[in-house]
Structure 1
Amino acid sequence: MAAVLLTGHGGPEKLEYRTDVPVPTPRDDEVLIQVEAAGINNTDINTRIGWYSKAVSGDTNSTATDGTNQADDDDASWSGIPLSFPRIQGGDVYGKIVAVGDDVDAGRLGEPVVVRNLMRHYVDRRPYECWTYGSECDGGFAQFAVAPSSESFTVQSNLSAAELGTISIAFTTAEGMLYRANLGAERVVVTGASGGVGLAAVELAKLRGAEVVAVCSARKADAVLAAGADRVIDRNADIVAELGSRSVDVVVDVVGGAQVNDLLTLLRPGGRYATAGAIAGPLVEIDLRTVYLKDLSLFGCTFQEDAVIENVVRYLNEGKLKPLVSKTYPLSEIHQAQEDFIAKKYPGKLVLIPPHVEVASAEA
């Protein structure tokens, strides 16, 4: 099959497009999925360049483009355990089940599914543990991928394959932050609002009845407003001057960097700050007096309770989600796709489309 192999931590040269990769065989509790679309995400870049290593202190984009490899391979994955190479990345997967393992109902053949990115199956569902699809195991930058049957969720949607290829990471990451922060009909600030996770957070926050203040570049403001934001603030503006201190209930932050202390200043007493990313830099300075004198709650959001994916799939099947796909690329053009992603050329999502082949569904 065609697939992209990550051969080690480093630059785009570590991604090799091949057409001679064996099609994986599902184990007893797994399904084989013919991948129709796979979205690109920050985690793909971060994993490739080893950004999760504590040896890396810079932001994602400069680390990806400066041509150096600062990472310590021993802790350069989500789990902190060294990756094994080659690895097929891609955690955002939409496709159809074409084979099932011995313990899986053959009635699942032909089902359109999205695959849960943060998998609980392989760690016996222990709390605060997960395998990341495309990191701790092979993912969807390929024509075919295997996944546990229990982590493959049936979808009934009129969205395009490319749009459905954006659900597994962007929408569950966003919903995970809103779920942990217990957002209701409150005022929320969403940073990085023009990206895949940010736009998803805007949509999902509106479904919860929230007033959404979005932070992004001015040239992408129209896309964010179209997603439902009530107000957009330029990412270079003084956000405290724009909104005032103690004026916000919840902050959903995927940017990190120098603005974090200002975001905490925005929060009312008892406010909540949720983060699932730090593309502007992982090392930040905050005033702990702000945290304890205002009784703030800070949530790091990786692990997801089952309700998170269940909520997203329910919204999807009810026709309530509308991802923004700005561009699609053949799988073979992954280098260009990641270059465009790093340059932040487009709002929303960029999606890879593997070559299609006709396959007769069968039990494994």
Structure 2
Amino acid sequence: MGVSQTMRAVRITGHGGPEVLEVTDVATPVPRAREVLVRVDAVALNNTDLWTREGAYGRPEDPRALSGWRGPLDFPRIQGADVAGRVVAVGPGADEAMVGRRVVVDPALYDGEGPDANPVGLMGSERDGGYAEYVTAPAGQVHDVTGSALTDDQLAALPTAYGTALGMIERGRLQEGETVLVSGASGGVGVAAVQLARARGARVVAISSGSKIDAVREAGAHAVVDRAQDVVEQVCDAAPEGVDVGLDVVAGDLVGAGLPLLREGGRWVVAGALGGYEVAFDVRRLYLHNAQVIGSAMHTPAHFALLMDLARDAAVRPLVAATYPLDQAAQAQEELARRRHVGKIVLIP
């Protein structure tokens, strides 16, 4: 497979609005030892693209500091964590047999080698990502999905949103037959959580609003409560015996309101702060009921391998809301920020 020495890419030159995204020609990256070069056939957008671009993650010593996913960024940086494509070249020590394989890239940068390693960085933030015609990745984090019935844009929708949702489900130890509450259920992670929890055999109660309620129900929720009305009252009606696991990307006031909804030994898993990052709750609702509040950032290698098994079997089918060409990345991010859609927005280089 011929690879040109230059490629089209979209990168950010600093923190800011959509205007900091520049479409440019850059040198095609060369895979280093035990890396592969992937031709990007589809790259999905995530909220993390917006927040990394804006520098919205804060730092431990200063919550309002401009920062990438896990710290200061090196600019310019090619964005994009979620890549589906084909391996076109391998670096020293990587398996030549991977060339030509259809793959999904695990975008996490891990703190160690094992199956339970923690993600401490992200492609598109701590290293260059997939808003480009080509991207390099460690060979061990490129998963062969050649036989999957999913389309390229569906495969690209999986890594961050579905990886994050599956990480929440696994850390929350969700079992078949349990009741799960999903907040922010029309967003990328929310829809993924609904679909994955339903596939696991859980009873899914989802929180959404307005015109998106029907789409969330179609994604697999057994009951959908309207966040514009009294959420607690509606959840109590939908799950009178309580909730086993909360999968929460909203946080804010919802944590304090949600903990009393948990059954004995319930787990409240937080993977986002759309509703605010300062939280207050009655700690008695925690210790008197053996409840747990669990932080969940993305996935482990073991979680991602499980997700790829689901992808190969097409056991979940991601919803794709819209596709854009690569040079319209800024418009695509603006559409993502408007939050009018249900499902993923994908760029097709």
Q: Same fold (TM over 0.5)?
A: yes
Pair 1:182 & 2:173 matched: yes
Pair 1:9 & 2:2 matched: no
Structure 1: segments with no counterpart, 5+ residues:
58-70, 355-364
> What RMSD in Å do the two structures reach over aligned CA positions?
1.7
Give the C-alpha shift of residue 199 in structure 1: 1.0
Could you tell me which of 27, 40, 53 is aligned with 1:35?
A: 40
Pair 1:341 & 2:336 matched: yes
Give the C-alpha shift of residue 283 in structure 1: 1.4
Which residue does the alignment assign to 1:269?
264
Pair 1:206 & 2:206 matched: no
C-alpha separation in 1, matches of 2:108 and 2:92: 24
Residue 56 to residue 227, structure 1, CA distance change in 2 (3 Å): farther
Pair 1:193 & 2:185 matched: yes
One-letter amino acid of the structure 2 residue matched with residue 219 of structure 1: S
When normalised by structure 2's length, the TM-score is 0.92
Pair 1:280 & 2:275 matched: yes
C-alpha separation in 1, matches of 2:217 and 2:298: 29
Pair 1:158 & 2:153 matched: no
| Pairs within 5 Å for 1:282-297 | 282-297=277-292
Give the C-alpha shift of residue 98 in structure 1: 0.4
CA deviation vs aligned residue, 1:312-356 (integer Å, no higher than 9, x gap): 1111111211111011011111111111111111101111111xx
Give the C-alpha shift of residue 218 in structure 1: 2.5
Structure 2: segments with no counterpart, 5+ residues:
1-6
Moved more, 43-52 or 276-285: 276-285
Count of matched residue pairs: 336
C-alpha separation in 2, matches of 1:304 and 1:349: 19
| Pairs within 5 Å for 1:15-26 | 15-18=21-24, 20-26=25-31
Identity of aligned residues (%): 44
C-alpha separation in 2, matches of 1:129 and 1:343: 28
CA deviation vs aligned residue, 1:293-316 (integer Å, no higher than 9, x gap): 222111111163322111111111
Which residue does the alignment assign to 2:215?
223
CA deviation vs aligned residue, 1:214-243 (integer Å, no higher than 9, x gap): 111131122111111101111222122112
Give the C-alpha shift of residue 56 in structure 1: 8.0
Give the C-alpha shift of residue 139 in structure 1: 0.8
Q: Is the 8 A contact 1:192 1:254 kept in 2?
A: yes
Give the C-alpha shift of residue 9 in structure 1: 1.3
| Pairs within 5 Å for 1:229-240 | 229-240=221-232
Q: Is the 8 A contact 1:37 1:351 kept in 2?
A: yes
